[in-house]
Amino acid sequence: MAPRAFVCSVLREELARTDGITVEHGISAVSLLVGTERLRGRPHIQGVLTDTVQAVLADLVVDATGRGSEMVKWLSDVGAPRPLEEHQQAGFRFYTRHFSSPESTTDPGTWSLHHFDGVSAAVASTRRGHRSMTLCINDDDIELYALGQLSMRNRVAARYASWLPRLGEPVLPGVWVTSRLESCYRRFVRGGQPVATGTVSVGDAWGAVNPLLGLGPSMGLLHAVLLRDAVRQGVPDEVAMRLDRLTESSLTPLLHGITAWEERLQVRAGRGRRAPSRAMEAPEVPAGPGPTTAGLAHALLTRSVRLAAEADPSARPGPCYADLAELISVPRHRT
Ligand SMILES: Cc1cc2nc3c(=O)[nH]c(=O)nc-3n(C[C@H](O)[C@H](O)[C@H](O)COP(=O)(O)OP(=O)(O)OC[C@H]3O[C@@H](n4cnc5c(N)ncnc54)[C@H](O)[C@@H]3O)c2cc1C
C-alpha cells in the first residue's frame, strides 16, 4: 500500500527513463475508430479519436482510463454487444483534509488504514512532508453527510485521534468531498467471444475496489503483467480472449472476494441493502513454482480471506455508530 501520489511519481520516473514511450499530456480519447471486422458480428477497434480531432491508430487499444472509463458506452456506439458490468450496491464517500507532516521523514511514503464502527480512516504521508487524512463512509449513510462541514469533521476526527498517526497543521482549507466511489467489475467476453477485437481494458477500467484499501495500484500492476503475458502468447487478434482467461482465473476472484467482504461488513453493520452477492473464498489457483502473477493474486486473496475471518467488528475501537451519529447530528431548534 502506498499513497496514490507516491505511486504516480514512481511510475512517472520509470516512464521517463524507458525508451520507446511517448507521453502526450492534456489530450483525451473521445471515441473508438473501427477497422475491418476480424470476428463475425464483433467490431474491430483500430484506434481512437482524440478531443484534438486526431486519429491515433494502434494494433491494440488498451483502455487504462480508470474507474470512470467510458469504454462500455464507446463500444455500444460502434455496435458491439454490451459487456457485463456490475456495480456495488452502496459506494463510498470520502472526507479528506491535508496537513503538513509533524515529522520530517525520509520514508518513501506511508499509508495506514483504521476501521471504526461506521467509519474508516486512512492517513497517508509522502516524503515531501505532506499528510492527508480521509474519513470514509458508505455513500448511502446520509446521517453522516454532515462530515462535509469543517467543524463537524474536526469534531469527529478528534474522537479518533488517539488511534491515528499524529497530524500536523492543516495546509489547505476546508474538507475535500469525493462521492459515489463504487466498486465495479467489467467483463468484455460474452458467449465465449470478445465483444470487440483489438481492444482490452485494464486496471480500474476493468475492475475497481474501495480506494482506501490501497489495492488498486497492485491489482493494476498485476493486470499489466497479465496483459504482457497475453500479448506475448502470439496472434494479436486473440489477445482479448487470452487476457480474459488470465484475468478470470487470477484477478477476478480477488476483486469479487474484496467486494463480497465489504458487502458483508455493511450487512453485518445493518447498513447493507441486501445480502452480499458472493461468498468470499480463496479460488482454486494452482500454486506455481515461483512468484507468478496468478500466485501473487492468490496470495493476496488468501491473506484477505484470513484477515476477514479473524476480524471481529464488535471489537472495533472508538465510538459506536449510534454515538457517532449523535455526535454529528445537527441540533434542532425549537419553534
Ligand atoms: C480519490 C481517490 C484517491 C485514491 N487514493 C489512493 C491512494 O492513496 N492509494 C492507493 O493505493 N490507491 C488510491 N486510489 C486508487 C488508485 O488510485 C487506483 O486504484 C489506481 O490509480 C488505478 O490505476 P489505473 O491506472 O487503472 O487508473 P487511474 O490511476 O485512474 O488512471 C487513469 C488515467 O487515465 C486518464 N484518462 C481518463 N479518461 C481518459 C480519456 N478519455 N483519454 C485519455 N486519458 C484518460 C486519467 O487522466 C488518468 O491519468 C484512489 C482513488 C481515488 C478515486
For the segment 48-80, what is each residue's pLDDT rounded down to a tens digit?
999 999 999 999 999 999 999 999 999 999 999
Q: What is the mean pLDDT of residues 318-322?
A: 85
pLDDT at 301: 67
In short, whether 217's Cβ falls inside 6 Å of ligand 1 is yes
- Residue whose CA is at the smallest distance from ligand 1 atom 39: 65
Strand order in the sheet with 109-116: 109-116, 119-126, 130-138, 92-100, 176-181
In short, whether 4's Cβ falls inside 6 Å of ligand 1 is yes
Centre of ligand 1 from the C-alpha of residue 180, in Å: 15
Q: Are 130 and 100 in contact (CB under 8 A)?
A: yes
In short, whether 253's Cβ falls inside 6 Å of ligand 1 is no
Locate 55 and state its grid cell. 486519429
> Tell me: the pLDDT tens digits for 213-239?
888 888 999 999 999 999 998 788 899
Atom of ligand 1 nearest to the CA of 27: 43
Residue 334 has pLDDT above 50, yes or no: no
pLDDT at 26: 95
Confidence of residue 283 (pLDDT cuts 50, 70, 90): very low
> Tell me: the pLDDT tens digits for 143-157?
899 999 999 999 999
Atom of ligand 1 nearest to the CA of 223: 26
**Domains in the chain and their CATH numbers?**
61-87+183-310 (no CATH), 92-181 (3.30.9)
> Tell me: the pLDDT tens digits for 24-33?
999 999 999 9
Q: What does the alpha-carbon distance between residue 305 and residue 307 come to, in Å, rounded to a whole number?
A: 6
Residue 240 has pLDDT above 80, yes or no: yes
Q: Are 168 and 99 in contact (CB under 8 A)?
A: yes
Atom of ligand 1 nearest to the CA of 65: 34
Q: What is the mean pLDDT of residues 116-135?
A: 85
Confidence of residue 317 (pLDDT cuts 50, 70, 90): confident
Confidence of residue 5 (pLDDT cuts 50, 70, 90): confident
In short, whether 100's Cβ falls inside 6 Å of ligand 1 is no
Predicted TM-score (pTM) of the model is 0.82
Q: Which residues pair with 110 in a beta bridge?
A: 125
- Residue whose CA is at the smallest distance from ligand 1 atom 16: 216
In short, whether 225's Cβ falls inside 6 Å of ligand 1 is no
Q: Identify each DSSP E strand in the chain by its residue range.
A: 29-39, 42-50, 55-57, 61-63, 84-87, 92-100, 109-116, 119-126, 130-138, 176-181, 184-187, 189-190, 193-194, 199-201, 207-208
Q: What does the alpha-carbon distance between residue 11 and residue 284 come to, in Å, rounded to a whole number?
A: 32
In short, whether 71's Cβ falls inside 6 Å of ligand 1 is no
- Residue whose CA is at the smallest distance from ligand 1 atom 37: 65
In short, whether 194's Cβ falls inside 6 Å of ligand 1 is no
Q: Which residues pair with 57 in a beta bridge?
A: 47
pLDDT at 262: 75
